[in-house]
Structure 1
Amino acid sequence: MSDSNGAGDAAHLRRRSDESGGQKRDLSYPPLPPALTVPVYDNHTHLEIEDGEGLDYREHLDRASSVGIRGVVQVGNDLETSRWSAEIAAREPRVLAAVAIHPNEAPRYAAEGRLADALAEIDELAGRTRVRAVGETGLDWSRLDTAGDDADRIRAAQIESFEAHIEIAKKHDLALQIHDRDAHDDVVATLKRVGAPARTVFHCFSGGPELGAICADNGWYMSFAGTVTFKNAAPLREALVAAPRHLVLVETDAPYLTPTPFRGRPNSPYLIPLTLRSMAETMGTDASMLAAQITSNTELVYGTWESEPITVDA
């Protein structure tokens, strides 16, 4: 997924539907928020997905830089997007990469007889210098109720893929970014059975205080997205308040999960300040102090964007 300019014109980008529930979405990007005084990183974004005005990934990064976002972790969901993520990170200093087969993609690869080969390629990509995480991987049981006879096959493929990704992360001493949807108990059980990597991140943390306590007890990071700003997300905010601050990260999951007051419009890394300021208010702390803590946490997970990968002593 590259072009003659080095990467990323709109022709290669994946597209989202511009309709939701039969109604047209507002596809314009929200205005720039006031810049952060202390810069932070977007721990999880998908710059390959075109949404809204079809911005090139460099335009997203430029907007982000202008409001105090120092860098992003660009996350792959399949072989194509994982390759692209690794390629972009190799030449763009504001980008590090995460590579994986998304849990909802794993059954497709398995049905085509390609899951083992796909995992082998993820293993190869994970060895590249500016690939700093394996993800997003995990379990997603949100579709099992409608899967019928395929439910067991879907479950088995996701578990096989998740276990393999955990081993890949440990092999390369990389962070693990987890997708956990309607599967808290099974995700935790898998991590404990297989053995979690030294740096494990619950991307777009979706649990309440109970899951938060489990993460805290095990030293697993909780990455909060725009969902923490939603009116109906009280359990998320309870988990955030209780979370040890050294385990808190922030992300967009762009182009999804745009924070209040722009929920439903396209998301982008430059909107991190909205989520971070909302988090600081919920936690009863100063936004700059929280930003400094999150920046430190992020660099402990991934290393700095200018450095070689970090190594955790066994």
Structure 2
Amino acid sequence: MSVTTSPVLEYTTDMLRNLAQADVARALAEDVGTGDLTAALVPASKIARARILAREAAIICGGPWAEAALRQAAPSAQWNWRVAEGQRCQPDQTVLELTGPARGLLTAERTVLNFLQLLSAVATRTADYVAAISEASGSHANVRGRIVDTRKTLPGLRLAQKYAVHCGGGWNHRIGLYDAVLIKENHIAAAGGVTEVLAQVRATPSIAGVAQFVEIEVETLAQLEEALQAGATMVLLDNMDLPTLREAVRLNAGRAILEVSGGVNMGTVREIAATGVDRISIGALTKDVKAIDFSMRFMDL
């Protein structure tokens, strides 16, 4: 069975630019308010050269947001990326060079850095998990899992964070509640059981016509077997230990796409991948983010 990314987001230049423009407008409104009081101390005619440094190794992500902040706060600024989007930088490496009005650069500084530190952190963590899966495939022939994100994102920044997962080599899960069906334990309980809730999906054509996919969460092997018998094509294995995961893969026998959730970290992801599951979803990619350290420094003043 082929593993698909669902839903598919096309990160075109126009899509990213429009998304970044909206995100940055909110961020600047929050930060600048009625005006940058401190930047007003700098002569309006002052032109500055600056560089943004990464203080640690990272996958660079967030270029469209940095550029949007510069366009909005320092429209005449010019810039040159020294490390391209999605590429790895080294500690103390210059990733971006800037020239423009000092006031505008100072006003844009924190917003530029905030987006770079957040999105680069998500991309970097994702890349680490992807690399771990790749390493596991060298010693386990049945490794085929994909690292997948979740809806555990910062409010208002979901698409930005999902783009960062993509930038780090991960795959996107559903975007929200509107584009795919993920039946969890409370849905199952409210509907009366696994078989009943899957039957309800088939009886609701409006869902089937819109949903990118239908996935059901199970907590036991008995629930898995029931879901497969009821025609499930995508199953989320929730918080199962390794022996149970291996048995789930055996029982499934390729009938459905199997996704693992819960208990995934850098210490466990290789062994989970080695069970032969198709997807490994990790909320920590976007939820538990430790920002990458960036700084901006003026030059030649």
Bigger relative contact order (CA 8 A; separation at least 6): 2
Report the TM-score when normalising by structure 1: 0.36
Report the TM-score when normalising by structure 2: 0.38
